[in-house]
Amino acid sequence: MSISEIITIPNPLLRKISQPIENVDEEVVTLVNNLKKTLYFHKNCVGIAAVQTGVLKRIVVTDVSQSFKEHKNNGPIVMINPQIVYSSGKLSSREGCLSVPDFLGQVERKKKIEVEYLDLNEKKQILKTSGFEAIAIQHEIDHLNGKIFLDRVTSLKTDLFRRKR
């Protein structure tokens, strides 16, 4: 396992749509392990998409449990080919991103979501979640679709903030 380099804006790969995984082979398992190691290497990171490491594959790893212990969550989750099949409500929060290192933005997302995905055993899973975990998953799935949180900021003038270092 190794820590992967994170690509940042304006790298054009961040605007590409990631390709579905056909089968979970050794290459996919290695990629997932590298994503996990990279996720935990970056302090306060709660999610990562394969594209952020320059790999256009539909894989997301999230874990909000370390940053938001007081909120109900599912701990570490590996999602292959995730797809949001249901959503409801609205929730606004300030988001950051490893691929947009200098800024935070106020973004509105769905409060509750239901996601279908494959696990590492190629078994179909359905996850129902809400709150911060739902926000993190939506953020990472956006990456798979060539979007970054800046695309969801209503006003760059009032809803974008320079990150304090």
Task: Indicate which residues carry an active-site annotation.
Answer: 140
- Residues in CB range of 90: below 8 A, 6 or more apart: 108, 109, 110, 111
C-alpha 82/C-alpha 127 separation (Å) is: 10
Place of tokens 């300030």: 94
Residue 33 burial class via C-beta count within 10 angstroms: exposed 0-12, middle 13-18, buried 19 and up: middle
- Residues in CB range of 11: below 8 A, 6 or more apart: 99
Between strands 47-49 and 91-97, the pairing is unpaired
> Which among 40, 42, 38, 43 is positioned nearest to 54, based on CA atoms?
38
